[in-house]
Amino acid sequence: MFNQNPVFIPGPTNIPEVIRNAYNIPTVDHRSGAFEGIIQPALAGVKKILKTEAGEVVIFPGSGTLGWEAAISNTLSAGDKVLAAAQGMFSEKWIEMCNRHGLDVQVHEVAWGEACPVDKYAETLKADTNHEIKAVLVTHNETATGVLSDVAAVRRAMDDAGHPALLFVDGVSSIGSMDFRMDEWGVDIAIAGSQKGFMLPTGLAIVGVSQKAIAVMDDADLPRFYYDIREMLAALKVSGYPYTPVVGLLNGLAKSTEILLDEGLDNVFARHHRIAEGVRTAVRAWGLEICAVDESTYSNSVTAILVPEGFDATALVNHASSKYHVSFGGGLGKVAGKVFRIGHLGSITDVMVLSGIATAEMAMVDLGLPITLGSGVAAAQEYYRTTA
């Protein structure tokens, strides 16, 4: 069946036609001068979206997960202590990766639906008077629960404790959709992926690196080769690559950053907030609850919605896919079967989201959830109609 329905998963996101055309290019010799006209605009555009002037950007063929591994492997040594919070599927996977690399991870466990526990981080950092903690990990936007954490507050906690640890931030489902301030927040490594706010297919791990992080790389002893940031920086300095790059996607990234910057980052962030608030308005009209427990931590890129006791959210997602050919995000890990997720990031409009809300309503009514058909749509329509 021919299907042009938008997806409402939190990545990969919908791809604008102009970006599809940008990465659909003939073969380009990445050892020729033509490649410079692709890679340099892409790097410059990403730096502006990360809001960094002091840092550098490297782009690996891969996904955000590779970015996690590049962060720890390039800066840490076996046995180094790392501070992290387990607050959802993706924060827990990053912790698992650290454990597999032989790092000593001090984990603060919080309920899924809660943000990074800044107060607990602050206590731990103040208590670490010998500065054994070498890196602090923050998942800016936990994609599994739709919870946004306060990176700036974590940086303040580190500064208040006078702690010299590196600050690593997973911004895979936030960067390009919500405000991110690498220099202002003192982020040492920021990790993004092409398939989220950048509106591209999966295939690029986008990593911002501070000068402080670069300075420790020669002393780090964890193995790295394919994702060696030092080698990548050296190659990019002369518009090259240490191996064959994904030229088409890099050209798409240059176009993507151009589109985002032309819209204006403040406008991009306001658009995401407005669309997300319309979804949240619909959820309230349905009488359902949002997984994020505090309104101040609501994500503007994905909303995780709790279904009533006795209903299976996975069945809802599968039903919407099979009957209406529309994709929503399922629950992951501890919230599997308990939530379904509406992704509203990247190339998205209020009109597109209204179609997703309407489809979710039909699927819920089909399965007997106590939802009034049209209630969420009407609530979201009223919100979009009366807000700029």
Same domain as 227, residue 122: yes
Do 257 and 289 share a domain, yes or no? no
| Same domain, yes or no: 276 and 193 | no
- With cut-offs at 50, 70 and 90, classify the pLDDT of residue 25: very high
Residue 282, pLDDT score: 98
Residue-wise pLDDT for 45-87, tens only, equals 999 999 999 999 999 999 999 999 999 999 999 999 999 999 9
Are residue 223 and residue 288 in the same domain, yes or no? no
One domain for residues 67 and 192: yes
- Asked which of 236, 262, 288 is the last residue of a domain, the reply is 262
Q: Do 269 and 258 belong to one domain?
A: no
6 is a domain residue:
no
Residues 341 and 377 in one domain: yes
Residue where a domain terminates, one of 215, 244, 262 = 262
Tell me what pLDDT residue 4 has: 85
- Please report, for the domain that includes residue 160, its CATH number: 3.40.640.10
Please tell me whether residues 130 and 241 are part of one structural domain.
yes
Position 388 scores a pLDDT of 79
Q: What is the pLDDT of residue 334?
A: 96
10 within domain boundaries:
no
In this structure, is residue 53 part of a structural domain?
A: yes
- pTM of the full structure: 0.96
Q: Is residue 366 predicted with pLDDT exceeding 70?
A: yes
**pLDDT score, position 1:** 52
* Percent of residues, the chain, with pLDDT higher than 90: 99
Is pLDDT of 327 > 80?
yes
pLDDT given at position 3: 72
Average pLDDT, the chain: 97
Print the domain residue range for 373: 265-386
Q: Which residues pair with 304 in a beta bridge?
A: 341
How many separate domains does the chain show? 2
pLDDT tens-digit readout, 112-131: 999 999 999 999 999 999 99
Q: Which pLDDT value is given to residue 2?
A: 60
309 in any annotated domain = yes
Predicted confidence (pLDDT) per residue in 291-301, tens digit = 999 999 999 99
Residue 8 lies in a domain: no
For residue range 251-284, list pLDDT tens digits in order. 999 999 999 999 999 999 999 999 999 999 999 9
